[in-house]
Structure 1
Protein backbone atom coordinates (compact mmCIF):
# COMPACT_ATOMS: atom_id res chain seq x y z
CA UNK A 1 0.00 0.00 0.00
CA UNK A 2 1.49 3.33 -0.98
CA UNK A 3 1.70 6.31 1.35
CA UNK A 4 -0.87 9.10 0.87
CA UNK A 5 0.37 12.14 -0.97
CA UNK A 6 0.19 15.15 1.33
CA UNK A 7 1.65 17.79 -0.95
CA UNK A 8 1.88 18.67 -4.63
CA UNK A 9 4.59 17.01 -6.69
CA UNK A 10 7.66 18.60 -8.21
CA UNK A 11 6.82 21.14 -10.93
CA UNK A 12 3.20 21.38 -9.79
CA UNK A 13 2.55 24.44 -7.68
CA UNK A 14 6.02 24.32 -6.15
CA UNK A 15 7.25 27.45 -4.42
CA UNK A 16 5.54 29.72 -1.91
CA UNK A 17 1.86 28.86 -1.53
CA UNK A 18 -0.88 31.19 -0.37
CA UNK A 19 -4.14 29.31 -1.03
CA UNK A 20 -5.06 26.08 0.74
CA UNK A 21 -6.38 24.56 -2.50
CA UNK A 22 -2.79 24.43 -3.76
CA UNK A 23 -1.58 22.32 -0.82
CA UNK A 24 -4.55 20.47 0.65
CA UNK A 25 -5.29 16.93 -0.53
CA UNK A 26 -8.46 17.09 -2.65
CA UNK A 27 -10.96 14.70 -4.23
CA UNK A 28 -11.20 15.30 -7.96
CA UNK A 29 -13.27 12.25 -8.93
CA UNK A 30 -15.27 10.10 -6.51
CA UNK A 31 -15.83 6.37 -6.84
CA UNK A 32 -19.19 5.36 -8.31
CA UNK A 33 -20.14 2.39 -6.16
CA UNK A 34 -23.39 0.56 -5.67
CA UNK A 35 -26.20 -0.48 -7.95
CA UNK A 36 -27.54 1.73 -10.69
CA UNK A 37 -30.71 2.19 -8.67
CA UNK A 38 -28.77 3.30 -5.58
CA UNK A 39 -26.66 5.75 -7.58
CA UNK A 40 -29.74 7.19 -9.27
CA UNK A 41 -31.58 7.55 -5.95
CA UNK A 42 -28.59 9.26 -4.35
CA UNK A 43 -28.29 11.66 -7.29
CA UNK A 44 -31.98 12.59 -7.16
CA UNK A 45 -31.82 13.16 -3.39
CA UNK A 46 -29.05 15.79 -3.62
CA UNK A 47 -29.74 19.50 -3.13
CA UNK A 48 -29.93 21.61 -6.27
CA UNK A 49 -29.10 24.96 -4.62
CA UNK A 50 -25.75 25.66 -3.00
CA UNK A 51 -25.37 28.99 -1.24
CA UNK A 52 -22.07 30.78 -1.74
CA UNK A 53 -22.66 32.47 1.62
CA UNK A 54 -22.22 29.05 3.28
CA UNK A 55 -18.55 29.03 2.17
CA UNK A 56 -15.56 31.01 3.40
CA UNK A 57 -13.26 33.18 1.33
CA UNK A 58 -9.68 31.93 0.97
CA UNK A 59 -6.59 33.71 -0.33
CA UNK A 60 -5.87 37.40 -0.29
CA UNK A 61 -4.89 40.13 0.00
CA UNK A 62 -5.65 41.03 -3.67
CA UNK A 63 -7.44 37.89 -4.87
CA UNK A 64 -9.87 35.70 -2.91
CA UNK A 65 -11.90 32.64 -3.89
CA UNK A 66 -14.74 30.39 -2.73
CA UNK A 67 -15.15 26.82 -3.93
CA UNK A 68 -18.88 26.21 -4.32
CA UNK A 69 -19.48 23.11 -6.46
CA UNK A 70 -16.91 20.35 -7.00
CA UNK A 71 -16.54 16.59 -6.45
CA UNK A 72 -15.04 16.93 -2.97
CA UNK A 73 -17.86 19.13 -1.66
CA UNK A 74 -21.00 17.95 -3.48
CA UNK A 75 -22.23 14.46 -4.31
CA UNK A 76 -24.00 15.73 -7.43
CA UNK A 77 -20.93 17.30 -9.07
CA UNK A 78 -18.66 14.71 -10.64
CA UNK A 79 -17.48 16.42 -13.81
CA UNK A 80 -17.87 20.15 -13.20
CA UNK A 81 -16.49 22.76 -10.86
CA UNK A 82 -17.79 26.22 -10.00
CA UNK A 83 -16.15 28.84 -7.83
CA UNK A 84 -16.44 32.55 -7.15
CA UNK A 85 -13.42 34.84 -7.32
CA UNK A 86 -13.09 38.42 -6.11
CA UNK A 87 -10.30 40.90 -6.81
CA UNK A 88 -9.59 43.87 -4.57
CA UNK A 89 -9.62 47.30 -6.22
CA UNK A 90 -6.70 47.26 -8.72
CA UNK A 91 -5.96 43.72 -7.55
CA UNK A 92 -4.85 40.73 -9.58
CA UNK A 93 -4.28 37.01 -9.27
CA UNK A 94 -1.65 34.46 -10.15
CA UNK A 95 -0.33 33.75 -13.63
CA UNK A 96 -1.08 30.11 -14.34
CA UNK A 97 -2.08 27.56 -16.95
CA UNK A 98 -4.13 24.35 -17.01
CA UNK A 99 -5.35 21.84 -19.57
CA UNK A 100 -9.05 22.42 -18.96
CA UNK A 101 -10.84 25.34 -20.51
CA UNK A 102 -12.83 27.66 -18.25
CA UNK A 103 -15.63 30.15 -18.65
CA UNK A 104 -15.94 33.06 -16.32
CA UNK A 105 -18.84 35.41 -15.99
CA UNK A 106 -18.09 38.91 -14.80
CA UNK A 107 -20.66 39.68 -12.13
CA UNK A 108 -19.12 43.00 -11.13
CA UNK A 109 -16.19 45.08 -12.30
CA UNK A 110 -13.99 45.91 -15.23
CA UNK A 111 -10.56 44.57 -15.99
CA UNK A 112 -8.53 42.50 -18.37
CA UNK A 113 -6.88 39.14 -18.78
CA UNK A 114 -3.55 38.29 -20.29
CA UNK A 115 -3.87 35.08 -22.39
CA UNK A 116 -0.56 33.78 -23.71
CA UNK A 117 0.73 37.37 -23.78
CA UNK A 118 -2.42 38.86 -25.39
CA UNK A 119 -4.57 41.41 -23.53
CA UNK A 120 -8.33 40.77 -23.44
CA UNK A 121 -10.59 43.39 -21.82
CA UNK A 122 -13.74 42.45 -19.87
CA UNK A 123 -16.50 44.16 -17.86
CA UNK A 124 -19.69 43.43 -15.92
CA UNK A 125 -21.99 41.15 -17.93
CA UNK A 126 -19.25 39.62 -20.08
CA UNK A 127 -18.45 35.93 -20.38
CA UNK A 128 -14.80 35.15 -21.07
CA UNK A 129 -13.38 31.84 -22.25
CA UNK A 130 -9.96 30.70 -21.14
CA UNK A 131 -8.94 28.13 -23.73
CA UNK A 132 -7.21 24.81 -23.03
CA UNK A 133 -3.53 25.06 -22.00
CA UNK A 134 -3.58 28.87 -22.04
CA UNK A 135 -1.24 30.63 -19.61
CA UNK A 136 -3.35 33.43 -18.21
CA UNK A 137 -3.87 36.02 -15.49
CA UNK A 138 -6.93 38.02 -14.34
CA UNK A 139 -6.52 41.71 -13.42
CA UNK A 140 -8.99 44.24 -12.00
CA UNK A 141 -8.51 47.68 -13.60
CA UNK A 142 -10.78 49.79 -11.38
CA UNK A 143 -10.99 51.21 -7.86
CA UNK A 144 -13.99 48.92 -7.22
CA UNK A 145 -13.79 45.21 -6.46
CA UNK A 146 -14.18 42.74 -9.31
CA UNK A 147 -16.36 39.64 -8.89
CA UNK A 148 -16.44 36.64 -11.24
CA UNK A 149 -18.09 33.22 -11.40
CA UNK A 150 -15.84 30.51 -12.85
CA UNK A 151 -17.19 27.30 -14.44
CA UNK A 152 -14.97 24.51 -15.71
CA UNK A 153 -14.79 20.80 -16.42
CA UNK A 154 -11.53 20.40 -14.51
CA UNK A 155 -12.58 17.18 -12.71
CA UNK A 156 -13.34 15.54 -16.06
CA UNK A 157 -9.97 16.59 -17.50
CA UNK A 158 -8.16 15.20 -14.46
CA UNK A 159 -10.10 11.94 -14.77
CA UNK A 160 -8.79 11.66 -18.35
CA UNK A 161 -5.22 12.18 -17.04
CA UNK A 162 -4.95 15.60 -18.63
CA UNK A 163 -3.38 16.90 -15.45
CA UNK A 164 -1.08 19.67 -16.65
CA UNK A 165 -1.39 22.67 -14.38
CA UNK A 166 1.39 25.12 -13.72
CA UNK A 167 1.80 28.13 -11.52
CA UNK A 168 3.96 30.65 -13.40
CA UNK A 169 3.73 33.46 -10.87
CA UNK A 170 2.03 33.35 -7.48
CA UNK A 171 -0.48 36.04 -6.51
CA UNK A 172 0.84 39.10 -4.70
CA UNK A 173 1.41 38.80 -0.96
CA UNK A 174 0.91 42.49 -0.26
CA UNK A 175 -2.29 44.54 -0.56
CA UNK A 176 -2.75 47.19 -3.23
CA UNK A 177 -1.50 50.53 -1.81
CA UNK A 178 -4.48 52.52 -0.61
CA UNK A 179 -6.58 49.34 -0.24
CA UNK A 180 -4.79 47.70 2.69
CA UNK A 181 -8.08 47.21 4.57
CA UNK A 182 -9.93 45.55 1.67
CA UNK A 183 -12.03 42.51 2.62
CA UNK A 184 -14.12 40.42 0.22
CA UNK A 185 -17.91 40.95 0.30
CA UNK A 186 -19.76 39.23 3.13
CA UNK A 187 -22.99 38.86 1.14
CA UNK A 188 -21.54 36.61 -1.60
Structure 2
Protein backbone atom coordinates (compact mmCIF):
# COMPACT_ATOMS: atom_id res chain seq x y z
CA UNK A 1 0.00 0.00 0.00
CA UNK A 2 1.28 3.42 -0.88
CA UNK A 3 1.56 5.93 1.93
CA UNK A 4 0.76 9.62 1.82
CA UNK A 5 3.67 12.02 1.52
CA UNK A 6 4.53 13.42 4.93
CA UNK A 7 4.50 17.11 5.74
CA UNK A 8 1.77 18.01 3.26
CA UNK A 9 -1.76 19.16 3.94
CA UNK A 10 -4.44 17.47 1.79
CA UNK A 11 -5.32 20.77 0.14
CA UNK A 12 -1.70 21.12 -0.98
CA UNK A 13 -1.53 17.73 -2.74
CA UNK A 14 -2.92 18.91 -6.08
CA UNK A 15 -0.44 21.75 -6.41
CA UNK A 16 2.45 19.65 -5.12
CA UNK A 17 1.78 16.80 -7.53
CA UNK A 18 1.61 19.01 -10.60
CA UNK A 19 4.75 20.95 -9.81
CA UNK A 20 8.29 19.80 -9.09
CA UNK A 21 10.77 22.17 -7.45
CA UNK A 22 8.60 25.09 -8.44
CA UNK A 23 8.51 24.16 -12.14
CA UNK A 24 5.16 23.17 -13.70
CA UNK A 25 4.92 19.70 -15.22
CA UNK A 26 4.85 19.83 -19.02
CA UNK A 27 1.43 19.34 -20.55
CA UNK A 28 1.35 15.70 -21.75
CA UNK A 29 -0.24 13.98 -24.72
CA UNK A 30 -1.11 16.83 -27.10
CA UNK A 31 2.45 17.32 -28.32
CA UNK A 32 2.86 13.56 -28.61
CA UNK A 33 0.37 13.39 -31.48
CA UNK A 34 -2.45 12.13 -29.26
CA UNK A 35 -4.83 15.06 -29.59
CA UNK A 36 -7.43 12.80 -31.20
CA UNK A 37 -7.95 11.02 -27.87
CA UNK A 38 -10.83 12.26 -25.73
CA UNK A 39 -8.71 12.95 -22.67
CA UNK A 40 -6.15 14.87 -24.74
CA UNK A 41 -8.68 17.06 -26.55
CA UNK A 42 -7.93 20.74 -26.03
CA UNK A 43 -11.40 21.77 -27.25
CA UNK A 44 -13.68 19.84 -24.92
CA UNK A 45 -16.99 21.49 -23.98
CA UNK A 46 -17.11 21.70 -20.19
CA UNK A 47 -20.15 24.00 -20.03
CA UNK A 48 -22.28 25.29 -22.88
CA UNK A 49 -23.82 28.66 -23.60
CA UNK A 50 -27.41 29.35 -22.57
CA UNK A 51 -28.92 31.97 -24.82
CA UNK A 52 -32.38 33.33 -25.47
CA UNK A 53 -35.07 35.68 -24.20
CA UNK A 54 -35.46 36.44 -20.51
CA UNK A 55 -38.01 33.68 -20.08
CA UNK A 56 -35.74 31.19 -21.86
CA UNK A 57 -38.81 29.75 -23.56
CA UNK A 58 -36.90 28.38 -26.56
CA UNK A 59 -34.26 26.82 -24.31
CA UNK A 60 -36.93 25.12 -22.20
CA UNK A 61 -38.66 23.87 -25.33
CA UNK A 62 -35.37 22.51 -26.62
CA UNK A 63 -34.59 20.75 -23.35
CA UNK A 64 -38.03 19.13 -23.19
CA UNK A 65 -37.54 17.77 -26.70
CA UNK A 66 -34.27 16.00 -25.84
CA UNK A 67 -34.16 12.20 -25.51
CA UNK A 68 -34.63 10.82 -22.00
CA UNK A 69 -32.84 7.52 -22.65
CA UNK A 70 -29.26 7.29 -23.90
CA UNK A 71 -28.71 4.07 -25.86
CA UNK A 72 -25.44 2.28 -25.15
CA UNK A 73 -25.54 0.80 -28.65
CA UNK A 74 -25.27 4.32 -30.09
CA UNK A 75 -22.30 5.45 -27.97
CA UNK A 76 -18.86 3.98 -28.53
CA UNK A 77 -15.99 3.76 -26.08
CA UNK A 78 -13.08 6.17 -26.58
CA UNK A 79 -9.40 6.06 -25.62
CA UNK A 80 -7.69 2.88 -24.41
CA UNK A 81 -5.77 0.59 -24.55
CA UNK A 82 -5.73 0.43 -20.73
CA UNK A 83 -8.62 2.74 -19.79
CA UNK A 84 -11.70 3.18 -21.99
CA UNK A 85 -14.64 5.59 -21.52
CA UNK A 86 -18.21 5.65 -22.81
CA UNK A 87 -19.65 9.13 -22.23
CA UNK A 88 -23.41 8.86 -21.75
CA UNK A 89 -24.13 12.43 -20.69
CA UNK A 90 -22.02 15.58 -20.78
CA UNK A 91 -22.83 19.26 -21.45
CA UNK A 92 -21.94 19.18 -25.15
CA UNK A 93 -24.91 16.83 -25.68
CA UNK A 94 -27.30 19.61 -24.70
CA UNK A 95 -29.11 17.46 -22.14
CA UNK A 96 -27.61 18.57 -18.83
CA UNK A 97 -25.44 21.35 -17.48
CA UNK A 98 -24.90 20.01 -13.97
CA UNK A 99 -23.39 16.54 -14.15
CA UNK A 100 -21.36 14.15 -16.28
CA UNK A 101 -22.10 10.43 -16.50
CA UNK A 102 -19.74 7.96 -18.11
CA UNK A 103 -18.76 4.29 -18.04
CA UNK A 104 -15.16 3.34 -17.44
CA UNK A 105 -13.66 0.03 -18.50
CA UNK A 106 -10.14 -0.90 -17.43
CA UNK A 107 -8.43 -3.62 -19.46
CA UNK A 108 -6.57 -6.43 -17.68
CA UNK A 109 -3.98 -4.80 -15.44
CA UNK A 110 -4.98 -1.39 -16.81
CA UNK A 111 -5.01 2.01 -15.14
CA UNK A 112 -6.41 5.48 -15.77
CA UNK A 113 -4.56 8.75 -16.09
CA UNK A 114 -3.34 10.37 -12.86
CA UNK A 115 -5.13 13.66 -12.37
CA UNK A 116 -6.82 16.04 -9.99
CA UNK A 117 -9.79 18.40 -10.05
CA UNK A 118 -11.97 20.50 -7.78
CA UNK A 119 -15.17 18.49 -8.23
CA UNK A 120 -16.17 15.28 -6.48
CA UNK A 121 -16.96 12.00 -8.27
CA UNK A 122 -18.58 8.66 -7.40
CA UNK A 123 -17.54 5.36 -9.02
CA UNK A 124 -20.05 2.51 -8.76
CA UNK A 125 -18.07 -0.68 -9.42
CA UNK A 126 -20.02 -2.90 -11.81
CA UNK A 127 -17.53 -5.75 -12.07
CA UNK A 128 -13.95 -6.68 -11.35
CA UNK A 129 -11.53 -5.85 -8.55
CA UNK A 130 -9.12 -2.98 -8.24
CA UNK A 131 -8.07 0.01 -6.23
CA UNK A 132 -7.74 3.78 -6.10
CA UNK A 133 -4.71 5.83 -5.12
CA UNK A 134 -5.87 9.15 -3.65
CA UNK A 135 -3.20 11.61 -2.53
CA UNK A 136 -0.76 8.71 -2.17
CA UNK A 137 -3.11 6.42 -0.20
CA UNK A 138 -4.47 3.16 -1.64
CA UNK A 139 -8.15 2.15 -1.34
CA UNK A 140 -9.25 -1.28 -2.61
CA UNK A 141 -12.63 -2.00 -4.26
CA UNK A 142 -14.65 -4.80 -5.85
CA UNK A 143 -17.97 -5.20 -7.68
CA UNK A 144 -20.85 -3.61 -5.75
CA UNK A 145 -18.66 -1.03 -3.99
CA UNK A 146 -18.77 2.73 -4.47
CA UNK A 147 -15.49 4.66 -4.59
CA UNK A 148 -15.66 8.37 -3.75
CA UNK A 149 -13.20 10.90 -5.11
CA UNK A 150 -13.27 13.95 -2.85
CA UNK A 151 -12.58 17.58 -3.76
CA UNK A 152 -9.04 18.64 -4.71
CA UNK A 153 -7.77 15.06 -4.72
CA UNK A 154 -4.95 13.79 -6.96
CA UNK A 155 -6.10 10.31 -7.90
CA UNK A 156 -5.74 7.35 -10.24
CA UNK A 157 -7.84 4.21 -10.83
CA UNK A 158 -6.30 0.74 -11.18
CA UNK A 159 -7.62 -2.65 -12.30
CA UNK A 160 -6.14 -5.08 -9.78
CA UNK A 161 -6.62 -8.18 -11.94
CA UNK A 162 -3.87 -8.78 -14.53
CA UNK A 163 -6.08 -11.14 -16.55
CA UNK A 164 -9.64 -9.75 -16.44
CA UNK A 165 -11.27 -6.34 -17.08
CA UNK A 166 -13.06 -4.14 -14.55
CA UNK A 167 -15.92 -1.68 -14.97
CA UNK A 168 -17.24 1.38 -13.13
CA UNK A 169 -20.13 3.78 -13.71
CA UNK A 170 -18.95 7.31 -12.92
CA UNK A 171 -21.18 10.20 -11.84
CA UNK A 172 -19.61 13.59 -11.25
CA UNK A 173 -20.72 17.19 -10.95
CA UNK A 174 -17.76 18.65 -12.85
CA UNK A 175 -19.94 20.83 -15.15
CA UNK A 176 -21.65 22.46 -12.17
CA UNK A 177 -18.33 23.21 -10.47
CA UNK A 178 -16.89 24.70 -13.65
CA UNK A 179 -20.08 26.66 -14.28
CA UNK A 180 -19.48 28.28 -10.87
CA UNK A 181 -15.97 29.24 -12.03
CA UNK A 182 -14.21 26.59 -9.91
CA UNK A 183 -11.85 25.90 -12.76
CA UNK A 184 -8.71 24.27 -11.43
CA UNK A 185 -7.87 20.76 -12.66
CA UNK A 186 -4.68 19.18 -13.87
CA UNK A 187 -3.45 16.00 -15.53
CA UNK A 188 -0.33 14.70 -13.81
CA UNK A 189 0.18 11.53 -15.86
CA UNK A 190 -1.74 10.86 -19.11
CA UNK A 191 -3.58 7.70 -20.03
CA UNK A 192 -1.28 4.96 -21.21
CA UNK A 193 -0.85 4.44 -24.95
CA UNK A 194 0.43 0.87 -24.61
CA UNK A 195 -1.52 -2.04 -23.11
CA UNK A 196 -0.55 -3.53 -19.77
CA UNK A 197 1.25 -6.89 -20.02
CA UNK A 198 -1.96 -8.85 -19.38
CA UNK A 199 -4.02 -6.67 -21.69
CA UNK A 200 -2.21 -7.23 -24.99
CA UNK A 201 -4.89 -7.91 -27.60
CA UNK A 202 -7.73 -6.95 -25.24
CA UNK A 203 -10.84 -5.52 -26.95
CA UNK A 204 -13.21 -3.31 -24.96
CA UNK A 205 -16.66 -4.81 -24.28
CA UNK A 206 -18.87 -2.58 -26.42
CA UNK A 207 -22.03 -4.68 -26.04
CA UNK A 208 -23.92 -4.64 -22.75
CA UNK A 209 -24.69 -8.16 -21.52
CA UNK A 210 -25.30 -7.94 -17.76
CA UNK A 211 -21.59 -8.13 -17.02
CA UNK A 212 -22.25 -7.55 -13.33
CA UNK A 213 -24.44 -10.68 -13.01
CA UNK A 214 -23.56 -14.37 -13.38
CA UNK A 215 -24.56 -15.93 -16.69
CA UNK A 216 -26.47 -18.81 -15.06
CA UNK A 217 -28.56 -19.40 -11.99
CA UNK A 218 -31.45 -17.09 -12.88
- Superposition TM-score, scaled by structure 2 size: 0.75
- How far has the Cα of 1:13 moved from its partner? 7.8
Q: How many aligned positions are there?
A: 177
Contact persistence 2:28–2:189 (CA under 8 A): no
Looking at CA atoms only, which structure, 1 or 2, has the larger radius of gyration? Answer: 2
Q: Supply the distance in 2 between the matched residues of 1:132 and 1:20 (Cα, whole angstroms).
A: 23
Contact persistence 1:106–1:149 (CA under 8 A): yes
In the TM superposition, 1:8-19 aligns within 5 A as: 14-17=27-30, 18=34, 19=37
State which of 118, 123, 138 in structure 1 corresponds to 2:137: 118
In the alignment, structure 2 segments of 5+ residues that lack a partner are 1-23, 209-218
Contact persistence 1:12–1:165 (CA under 8 A): no
Contact persistence 1:65–1:85 (CA under 8 A): yes
Aligned with 2:92: secondary structure?
Answer: coil
- Could you say which residue in structure 1 is the equivalent of 2:117? 98
- Could you say which residue in structure 2 is the equivalent of 1:153? 173
Q: Supply the distance in 2 between the matched residues of 1:24 and 1:168 (Cα, whole angstroms).
A: 16
Aligned with 1:84: secondary structure?
Answer: strand
More helix by share: 2
- Could you say which residue in structure 2 is the equivalent of 1:6? none
* Residue 33 (structure 1) aligned with residue 51 (structure 2): yes
Q: Supply the distance in 2 between the matched residues of 1:127 and 1:185 (Cα, whole angstroms).
A: 21
Contact persistence 1:101–1:131 (CA under 8 A): yes
Contact persistence 2:128–2:164 (CA under 8 A): yes
| 1:12 to 1:83, Cα distance in 2 relative to 1, 3 A | farther
- How far has the Cα of 1:24 moved from its partner? 4.1
In the alignment, structure 1 segments of 5+ residues that lack a partner are 1-10
Aligned CA RMSD, in angstroms, stands at 1.8
* Residue 58 (structure 1) aligned with residue 78 (structure 2): yes
Aligned with 2:197: secondary structure?
Answer: coil
- How far has the Cα of 1:44 moved from its partner? 2.0
* Segment drifting more, 31-40 vs 111-120: 31-40
Q: Supply the distance in 2 between the matched residues of 1:13 and 1:103 (Cα, whole angstroms).
A: 28
- How far has the Cα of 1:171 moved from its partner? 2.3
